[in-house]
């Protein structure tokens, strides 16, 4: 019965733009600081304050429109979205209800069947964020505090067409959108930190139908995984209602990440939306739009294709190395220092990225610069140290500013490649492990691995494993 239905999903996505200042004043755009540090008469909307629309905000918003393949509108304008709530002292929010910044875009994702699917974007509009309410209690009386640092922070709201059919498509859409917007430097797009907020509108219909039924909005998903789980839960809940004959009514529900259910929230008063007289209309001439288009960076899919061609990475490596702009630039910086591309990709993916995560560092602020990593990897490629030692050296690069060469000298990581030294090691191992030698001679091939391991251990991990194995094989006849 459940399989007779399909879900119709549309998303409303708020992206906090990372401009230096707020949308209509010069206050720093920093929401995480001590409460009420970044405020002025404009973002507090004291009487007589005149808003000044930021050009930097416009550029960041236009870039979002361009990478989402939208038509940027030559004229757009702000409206006053009226509602009364303590997070909004002036009683309305500046938003673009009637003349949005951009319309009719699309984004391609990879669907569950592995095929690419194009999902429509209805519109993108700019709006100011509102203040943040903090609810506390002194044990007896509940109190609500208002932090105005967030008031006037620039947002774009992206509204999709109801083209999505599954939790997978919603998660893929958000992943792709996040990558693209980060690439053009308009936002960090962190769901966990609130710079990307996603609401989903969900309705259910029989599979053969193309009607749009009553939709329910769900909110409060603060990770991509929670988005998928909340949509899955809501689809099952609505199908359950339909099967048991309960009507679906239009309302909003909150996702509870602890209980992993959605539950109804009280409705918010929605007032009228009237044109705003205080901010002039925004004109975007074609020249400005063309200039912005020319300044867009190479996007991840183009970059991945180039990495396959130019550096001979395999497809998975190329997709990984181009998945974030910082990562792709770091990778190319290492490669430009004459490291083999596949060696660079392998070490960055398997060693650098986990080590950064552990230390809470990013590729742009780590002491392990592309230069230092390239020096280290060159030593590996030149057989001066083996891979085990290189991992040790790399960990030390995080702690000191010594060069990799100096660390190798100081800590004695130099690879033992001298034949005579390796032969001594091998002789010693052969005499102390005569039973393993006998086993090998009696046809147990895996005894060789054991002997190589013993010799590596005797060299404290510094022997050249390839040569060691060659000498051992030769001596065993």
Site string for Zn ion, 52-91 (x = CB under 5 A): ----------------------------------------
Residue 153 found at the interface with Zn ion (CB under 5 A):
no
Footprint on residues 4-33 left by Zn ion (CB under 5 A): 25, 27
Residue 43 found at the interface with Zn ion (CB under 5 A):
yes
Q: Which is nearer to Zn ion, 45 or 311 (CB)?
A: 45
Applying CB under 5 A, the span of 43-51, 233-241, 281-289, 303-311 interacting with Zn ion comes to: 43-51
Residue 40 found at the interface with Zn ion (CB under 5 A):
yes
Name all contacts of 244-247 with Cβ < 8 Å and 24+ positions apart.
Answer: 247/214
**Minimum CB distance to Zn ion, residue 56 (Å):** 15
Applying CB under 5 A, the span of 1-9, 35-43, 110-118, 305-313 interacting with Zn ion comes to: 35-43
Nearest to 32 by CA among 156, 159, 150, 206: 150
Name all contacts of 446-451 with Cβ < 8 Å and 24+ positions apart.
Answer: 448/472, 448/473, 448/476, 451/476
Q: Spell out the SS3 assignment of 342-397.
A: HHHHHHHHHHHHHHHHHHCCCCCCCCCCHHHHHHHHHHHHCCCCCHHHHHHHHHHH
Applying CB under 5 A, the span of 34-42, 68-76, 219-227, 345-353 interacting with Zn ion comes to: 34-42
Q: Which backbone phi and psi does 251 adopt, to 5 degrees? A: -170, 180
| SS3 state at 457 | helix
Residue 49 found at the interface with Zn ion (CB under 5 A):
no
Q: Which is nearer to Zn ion, 150 or 325 (CB)?
A: 150
Buried b (16+ CB within 10 A) or exposed e, 309-318: eebebeeebb
* CA-to-CA separations, 186 to 12, 62, 329, in angstroms, rounded: 18, 9, 18
Question: What is the pairing mode between strands 142-147 and 92-95?
Answer: unpaired
- Tokens 């979002």 map to which residue? 64
Q: Which is nearer to Zn ion, 30 or 414 (CB)?
A: 30
**Minimum CB distance to Zn ion, residue 196 (Å):** 23
Residue 130 found at the interface with Zn ion (CB under 5 A):
no
Whether the Cβ atoms of residue 274 and residue 83 lie closer than 8 Å to each other:
no
**Minimum CB distance to Zn ion, residue 149 (Å):** 10
What are 405's two structure tokens?
């060469």
**Minimum CB distance to Zn ion, residue 130 (Å):** 13
Applying CB under 5 A, the span of 42-50, 213-221, 283-291, 373-381 interacting with Zn ion comes to: 42-50
Q: Which is nearer to Zn ion, 43 or 425 (CB)?
A: 43
Q: Where does this chain bind Zn ion (CB under 5 A)?
A: 25, 27, 40, 42-43
């Amino acid at each position: 019965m459940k399989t007779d239905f399909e879900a119709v999903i549309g998303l409303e996505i708020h992206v906090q733009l990372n401009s230096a200042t707020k949308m209509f004043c010069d206050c720093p755009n920093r929401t995480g600081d001590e409460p009420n540090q970044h405020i002025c008469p404009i973002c507090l909307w004291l009487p007589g304050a005149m808003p000044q629309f930021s050009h930097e905000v416009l550029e960041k918003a236009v870039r979002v429109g361009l990478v989402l393949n939208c038509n940027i509108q030559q004229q757009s304008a702000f409206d006053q979205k009226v509602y009364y709530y303590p997070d909004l002292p002036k009683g309305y929010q500046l938003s673009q209800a009637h003349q949005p910044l951009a319309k009719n875009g699309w984004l391609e994702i990879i669907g569950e069947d592995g095929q690419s699917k194009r999902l429509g974007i209805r519109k993108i509009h700019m709006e100011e964020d509102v203040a943040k309410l903090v609810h506390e209690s002194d044990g007896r009386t509940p109190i609500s505090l208002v932090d105005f640092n967030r008031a006037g922070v620039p947002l774009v709201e992206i509204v999709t067409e109801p083209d999505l059919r599954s939790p997978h498509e919603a998660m893929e859409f958000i992943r792709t959108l996040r990558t693209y917007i980060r690439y053009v430097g308009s936002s960090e797009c962190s769901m966990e930190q609130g710079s990307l907020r996603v609401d989903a509108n969900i309705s259910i219909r029989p599979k053969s139908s193309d009607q749009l039924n009553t939709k329910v909005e769900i909110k409060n998903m603060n990770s991509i995984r929670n988005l998928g789980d909340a949509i899955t839960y809501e689809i099952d809940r609505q199908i359950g209602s339909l099967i048991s004959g309960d009507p679906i009514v239009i309302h909003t529900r909150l996702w509870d990440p602890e209980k992993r259910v959605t539950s109804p929230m009280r409705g918010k008063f929605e007032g009228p939306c009237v044109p705003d007289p205080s901010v002039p209309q925004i004109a975007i001439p074609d020249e400005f739009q063309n200039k912005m288009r020319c300044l867009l960076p190479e996007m991840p899919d183009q970059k991945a294709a180039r990495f396959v061609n130019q550096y001979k990475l395999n497809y998975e490596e190329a997709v990984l190395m181009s998945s974030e702009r910082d990562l792709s630039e770091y990778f190319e910086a290492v490669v430009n220092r004459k490291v083999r591309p596949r060696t660079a990709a392998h070490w960055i993916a398997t060693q650098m990225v986990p080590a950064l995560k552990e230390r809470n560092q990013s590729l742009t602020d780590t002491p392990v610069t592309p230069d230092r990593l390239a020096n280290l990897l060159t030593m590996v490629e030149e057989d001066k140290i083996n891979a085990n030692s290189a991992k040790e050296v790399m960990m030390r690069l995080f702690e000191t500013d010594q060069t990799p060469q100096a660390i190798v000298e100081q800590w004695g990581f130099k690879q033992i490649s001298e034949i005579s030294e390796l032969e001594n090691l091998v002789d010693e191992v052969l005499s102390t492990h005569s039973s393993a030698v006998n086993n090998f001679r009696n046809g147990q091939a895996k005894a060789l691995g054991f002997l190589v391991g013993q010799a590596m251990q005797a060299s404290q991990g510094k022997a050249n494993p390839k040569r060691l194995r060659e000498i051992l094989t030769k001596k065993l006849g």
